[in-house]
């Protein structure tokens, strides 16, 4: 449902003032995943009662017929597309073709079916991996096309970036309310702790916990420790995505971040302290660092829909460690 419209400045589309989420049927692809469960909780906390979470077993979104079935059975007015084939550096290096194909096909076919069905809004969740390898810090949304992404995750990043182009094209030609939200690296409770797919924070938390249990004298950390990252607590990310779904209606991508960066060495030392591991840290420079630096300019999100991160980094890490300790068996 739309709470009012006004014409855009001669660009062939219309700016909708605000979506009435409470009165809308909302489908969240990937809604049973790490970020998705938090987005669904955020929607329901705001009074949304018609929120549908399609299961992969029932809807193969890599196939066109799976996308058609999703629209036929859930009949969304708003679709938040979180479903993705994801993983850390190792998984991206081993499966570049799969990461490219599945992410591109899911998003492209869902957008096309959304256009055919004439839904009120489509929210694509992008990735910080879409930015060029040597982007100026902090990353501004206008820098997305200034170079090629970091090689280890370029296929994934380019597949997701193609969906930005598709959404902008559909907005221009068909007046479709398609937006593109670009979160930085996420962490928090319910993250993926399986070493084959986990990102750096859950991977390190698991390493420290395993080392404590086994009384190991050291923990190995990939890379040189010099690369830097920005991290956003998953509950903040979910709030920002729902804010964008409600209030943002422009063709430009919009960053979601916390506005800071930390080196991998400092991150490992902080997690070592918070976990209580007393052994040695050993960095392995034969393993890849990935992109040299990541830190986002988040001024557009603050200006467009008032988003700012609320959870401090140390508090978020403590809550993530606590969750893992309480759910260690299921997380593995």
- Number of neighbouring beta carbons within 10 Å of residue 209: 19
Q: Which H/E stretch holds residue 255?
A: strand 254-256
β-pair partners for 124:
81, 180
What 3-state class would DSSP assign to 307?
coil
CB 80 within 8 Å of CB 27:
yes
Distance CA 159, CA 249 (A): 22
Rounded CA separation 247/121 (Å): 11
CA distance 144 to 128: 9
Instruction: Give the three-class secondary structure for 183.
Output: strand
Distance, in Å, from the CA atom of 208 to the CA atom of 274, rounded to the nearest integer, reads 10
Q: Strand, coil or helix: what is 225?
A: coil
- Say which of 131, 156, 170, 187 is annotated catalytic: 156
Catalytic annotation present for 170:
no
Is the four-CA dihedral 289, 293, 299, 302 of positive or negative sign?
A: positive
**What residues are annotated to the active site?**
156
């Amino acid at each position: 449902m739309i709470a009012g419209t006004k014409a855009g400045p001669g660009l062939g589309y219309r700016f909708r003032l605000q979506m009435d989420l409470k009165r809308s049927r909302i489908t969240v692809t990937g809604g049973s995943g790490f970020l998705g469960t938090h987005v669904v909780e955020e929607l329901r906390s705001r009074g949304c009662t018609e929120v549908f979470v399609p299961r992969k077993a029932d809807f193969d979104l890599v196939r066109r017929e799976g996308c058609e079935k999703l629209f036929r059975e859930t009949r969304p007015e708003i679709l938040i597309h979180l479903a993705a084939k994801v993983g850390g550096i190792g998984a991206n290096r081993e499966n570049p073709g799969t990461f490219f194909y599945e992410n591109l096909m899911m998003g492209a076919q869902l957008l096309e079916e959304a256009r055919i069905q004439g839904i009120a809004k489509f929210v694509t969740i992008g990735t910080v991996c879409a930015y060029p390898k040597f982007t100026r810090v902090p990353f501004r949304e206008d820098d997305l096309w200034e170079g090629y992404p970091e090689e280890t995750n370029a296929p994934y990043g380019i597949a997701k970036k193609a969906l930005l182009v598709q959404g902008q094209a559909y907005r221009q030609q068909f007046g479709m309310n398609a937006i593109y939200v670009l979160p930085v690296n996420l962490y928090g409770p319910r993250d993926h702790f399986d070493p084959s797919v986990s990102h750096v924070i859950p991977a390190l938390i698991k390493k420290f916990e395993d080392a404590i249990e086994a009384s190991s004298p050291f923990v190995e950390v990939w890379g040189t420790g010099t690369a830097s990252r920005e991290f956003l607590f998953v509950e903040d990310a979910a709030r920002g995505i729902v804010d964008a779904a409600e209030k943002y209606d422009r063709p430009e991508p919009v960053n979601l971040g916390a506005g800071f960066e930390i080196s991998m060495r400092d991150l490992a030392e902080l997690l070592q302290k918070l976990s209580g591991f007393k052994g040695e840290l050993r960095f392995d420079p034969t393993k890849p660092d990935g992109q040299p630096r990541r830190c986002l300019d988040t001024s557009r999100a603050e200006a467009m829909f008032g988003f700012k991160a609320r959870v401090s980094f140390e508090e978020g890490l403590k809550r993530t460690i606590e969750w893992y300790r309480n759910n260690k068996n299921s997380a593995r």
